[in-house]
Amino acid sequence: MSSAELFARAQRVIPGGVNSPVRSFRSVGGTPYFVERAEGPYVYDVDGRRYIDYVQSYGPGILGHAHPKVVEAVTGAAAAGTTYGAPTEAEVVLAEMVVDRIAGLESVRFVSSGTEATMSTIRLARGATGRNRIVKFAGCYHGHADALLAAGGSGVASQGLSGCDGVTDGAVVDTVVAPYNVVPELDDTVAAVIVEPVAANMGLVAPVPGFLEGLRAACDAAGALLVFDEVITGFRLAAGGAAEYFGVTPDLWCFGKVIGGGLPVGAFGGRWDVMDHLAPLGGVYQAGTLSGNPLAMAAGRATLELLDADAHARLTATATRLADGLADALTGSGLTAVLPRVGPLLGLFFGDVPPTDFDEAQALADNGTYPQVFHALLERGVALAPGAYEALFPSLAHDDEVIEATISAAAEAAASVRVA
């Protein structure tokens, strides 16, 4: 059955035919390809096509698809049972690995998604401080918990407005939305400031010098907790994530993606004086039937064991070659493009200057060029995310040959694009 046939079939039983909206191709047009299998840097669709994959499930595939060590770990864990509803040694081992890698993080709780991690962290911050208000930044995505689906005004910090049908004004009344890369004024009503240390859900927007340091100082002055949402940056920017990379230590962290090795997982953690407010030690309730499930713990452990200093250096070198090569290929073929990069993370915008906030990112993402380039690359066997607001995720499986093939395809693709 072809991708087109499967998509038509899916739309009869799944809203929009997909289980996460960006997969529907509505942002770029056309019919989504349906994946049959994946290996290393490649995905293979049901139509028999192979793509060099820079989606990598939006971050978990840091080793590439179906890495033998991860497959072996998951297979072994599954043979012993997929879930127990009881503690396991595997949870303890992975928690120790996370705590050992992140300076300042003393305790961690596993959940089943990044959304669960951020939602639980906000509840914990409120419970630990006795305060209600949360500050987030326009363009930063922290999952789909109601309080974090707030929309803000342009250019200034503003009281959150509902950014989604079904999210009531009451759900976001204590959420303040500020422009990214601007340190907001805080007072003693603010429980926490949550931020993507590198904004990777509006393309890729890097923190300007002093922004993260300014947030740390502002939170200290106001007695608020600083939360790093490292669902994307965690264990990717460095062994110790963004906190190590930028030298700024938050009070609480949120993780996901990489630590599950491709299986559903999330985690949140921080200092013991905050974490001991969490049940069963304290009055902040959080629970989950599949939290710490043995398959995800096994996959996460296998993944982290392979992410040593050499792996992070190779990943950054790969991203650098890709960014430089794509920039030359695209601009050399007549397109105006910038590829902001922070370590192994990179974005793609069609414009002259990398954006510094959501308004600037939105103007570049919505100028109509990305969908054309996306389809031109897809026709040449290179798969980017089907939406201009996503980052590119090169993996350790993307070797020099794969990068060169990508750059060659990009030059051909750019030459075929017509920009008004």
Count other C-beta atoms under 10 Å from residue 340's C-beta. 21
Count other C-beta atoms under 10 Å from residue 129's C-beta. 20
Residues 69 and 302: beta-carbon distance below 8 Å: yes
Active-site annotation holder among 58, 257, 357, 370:
257
User: How far out from the chain centre does Cα 376 lie?
Assistant: 25
Q: How far apart are CA 135 and CA 177, in angstroms?
A: 6
Active-site annotation holder among 229, 245, 251, 389:
229
Residues 255 and 109: beta-carbon distance below 8 Å: no
Catalytic-residue membership of 273: no
Q: How far apart are CA 365 and CA 8, in angstroms?
A: 28
Residues facing residue 338 across a β-bridge: 349
User: Residue 46, class by beta-carbon neighbours within 10 Å (0-12 exposed, 13-18 middle, 19+ buried)?
Assistant: middle
Catalytic-residue membership of 141: yes
Q: Which residue has the tokens 């069609």?
A: 350
Active-site annotation holder among 54, 141, 245, 389:
141
Residues 6+ apart with CB under 8 A from 311: 396
Residues 245 and 236: beta-carbon distance below 8 Å: no
Residues 6+ apart with CB under 8 A from 384: 54, 55, 348, 373, 374, 377, 378, 390, 392
Catalytic-residue membership of 229: yes
Residues carrying an active site annotation: 141, 229, 257
